[in-house]
């Protein structure tokens, strides 16, 4: 397959973007508002840094730096950051700070990383010791939040901390203990330790269904953590959780395309669809896991099949530009005043399906970087 058009697609998005108004942050575009410091751009900036490392194209690095500089002050403060929100999503964009500091030596990036690490110390926790997802979601753990916080946490420990990974590993083991379905081999989207949320099972605290992108966030987080953590007990424990999940996911892939369903265990039930973002995340996790030796080589072939399936089904040329479709715009659980987001099957298939949103584009580009490594 000729992948050159993907490079053109990514560069096209960068060229149509400016800091604070990126072409891939569709939620803010739809709201007509400038972007704040946020995980959506953070995911994409992480992907662009990977592209720069593989291609040597300085445009990627320059754009990432301009976005960071749009928010990060010389004292390490982050414009638009709201500490009182205790929002794990807002930790994710901090992942690019380590590379920016290493490349430029500018102290503001180190100070900003220190600030975000301090926010993790201040983050409320469940009775089991896990970070709350947000202040508006008290006592709740979402799979999404593992990706939003734990890779940054590990990177900080590796670069600036004491190399203590026991807390983050323990939080992930709590997820395995509380959110894993032995029957399906999958993880529920959310867990309420207080068992009082309207969407939570009063006995288990878990939400009703499995959501592909949340599983993808978890898989990508684990793959990235295996790349960050040194050899040792914590890495081995996380590796076991990762390999278990990846083995389970192979049961749910569409045989023809290699893609995965929006609600993975429901197959072609009426309204279900093959979704891009979570499929790209699984492709990335499998390709990277195989490259790191955490998974067998057969997973690289599975990941490539999924990636190629996305290209064939959802990467299209319209209006003189490439577009990536099949992306669920957003999904969540609650809060209390938004009972439409109840974790039901009907809810997950009701959210908008869009093109070119970073929640799909970023993992697609990350998977593409792993494809490039196969050919290197």
**What pLDDT score was predicted for residue 234?**
97
Here the tokens at position 264 are 């993975």
- What does the pLDDT look like over 144-182, one tens digit per residue? 999 999 999 999 999 999 999 999 999 999 999 999 999
Distance separating alpha carbons of residues 220 and 289, to the nearest angstrom? 10
| CA angle, 110 then 77 then 217, to 5° | 70
Residue with tokens 């072409």: 23
pLDDT digit string, tens, across residues 113-127: 999 999 999 999 999
Provide mean pLDDT across the span 75-91. Answer: 98
pLDDT bin (cut points 50, 70, 90) of residue 1 is: low
Token digits of residue 246 = 């990846």
Each residue's pLDDT tens digit, 298-323: 999 999 999 999 999 999 988 778 89
List of residues 6+ apart from 123 with CB closer than 8 A: 86, 88, 131, 132, 149
Whether pLDDT at 2 is above 80 = no
Cα distance between residue 68 and residue 46, in whole Å: 12
Percent of the chain with pLDDT over 90: 94
Region of residue 86 (left: phi > 0; alpha: psi -120 to 50; beta: else)? left
CATH of 4-375, picked from 1.50.10.10, 1.20.58.190, 3.10.450.50, 3.40.1350.10, is 1.50.10.10
Whole-number average pLDDT of the chain: 97
**What SS3 state is found at 275?**
strand
> Residues 6 or more apart from 34 whose CB is under 8 A from it?
20, 21, 28
* Structure confidence at residue 35 (pLDDT): 86
Q: Per-residue confidence at 33, pLDDT binned at 50, 70, 90?
A: confident
Tokens of residue 328, six digits: 């669920």
Residue 134 is predicted with a pLDDT of 98
Sign of the CA dihedral running 143, 144, 147, 149? negative
| Contact between 360 and 324 (Cβ < 8 Å) | yes
End-to-end Cα, the chain, rounded Å: 15
**What digits encode the pLDDT tens for the residues 239-281?**
999 999 999 999 999 999 999 999 999 999 999 999 999 999 9
* DSSP-assigned beta bridge partners for residue 64: none
Q: Residue 210 phi/psi, 5° resolution?
A: -105, 135
Q: What is the pTM of this model?
A: 0.98
The 10s digit of each residue's pLDDT in 176-199 is 999 999 999 999 999 999 999 999
pLDDT band at residue 102 using 50, 70 and 90 as cut-offs: very high
Pairing of strands 315-318, 274-275: unpaired
Task: Determine phi and psi for 17, rounding to 5 degrees.
Answer: -120, 155
The answer for residues whose C-beta is within 8 angstroms of residue 359's C-beta and 6 or more apart is 40, 43, 213, 277, 327, 328, 329, 330
Would the pLDDT of 43 be above 90? Answer: yes
């Amino acid at each position: 397959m000729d992948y050159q058009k993907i490079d053109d697609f990514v560069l096209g998005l960068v060229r149509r973007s400016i800091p604070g108004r990126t072409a891939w942050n569709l939620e803010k575009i739809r709201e007509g508002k400038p972007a704040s410091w946020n995980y959506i751009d953070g995911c994409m900036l992480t992907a662009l840094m990977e592209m720069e490392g593989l291609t040597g194209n300085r445009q990627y690095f320059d754009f990432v730096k301009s976005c960071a500089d749009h928010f990060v002050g010389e004292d390490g403060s982050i414009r638009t950051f709201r500490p009182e929100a205790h929002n794990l999503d807002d930790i994710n964009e901090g992942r690019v700070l380590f590379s920016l500091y290493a490349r430029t030596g500018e102290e503001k990036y180190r100070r900003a990383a220190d600030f975000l690490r301090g926010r993790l110390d201040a983050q409320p926790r469940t009775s089991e010791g896990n970070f709350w997802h947000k202040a508006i979601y008290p006592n709740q753990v979402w799979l999404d939040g593992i990706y939003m916080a734990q890779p940054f946490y590990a990177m900080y420990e590796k670069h600036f901390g004491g190399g203590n990974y026991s807390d983050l590993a323990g939080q992930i083991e709590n997820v395995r203990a509380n959110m894993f379905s032995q029957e399906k081999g999958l993880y529920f989207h959310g867990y309420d330790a207080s068992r009082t949320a309207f969407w939570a099972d009063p006995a288990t605290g878990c939400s009703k269904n499995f959501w592909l992108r949340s599983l993808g966030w978890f898989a990508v987080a684990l793959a990235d953590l295996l790349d960050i953590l040194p050899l040792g007990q914590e890495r081995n424990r996380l590796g076991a959780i990762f390999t278990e999940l990846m083995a389970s996911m192979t049961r749910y892939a569409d045989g023809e395309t290699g893609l995965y369903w929006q609600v993975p265990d429901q197959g072609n039930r009426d309204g279900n669809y093959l979704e891009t973002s979570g499929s790209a995340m699984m492709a990335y996790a499998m390709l990277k896991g195989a490259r790191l030796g955490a998974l067998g080589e057969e997973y690289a072939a599975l990941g490539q099949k999924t990636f190629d399936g996305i290209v064939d089904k959802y990467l299209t040329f319209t209006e003189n530009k490439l577009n990536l479709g099949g992306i669920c715009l957003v999904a969540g659980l609650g809060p209390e005043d938004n009972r439409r987001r109840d974790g039901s099957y009907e809810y997950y298939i009701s959210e908008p399906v869009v093109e070119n949103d970073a929640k799909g584009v970023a993992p697609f580009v990350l998977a593409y970087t792993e494809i490039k490594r196969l050919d290197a």
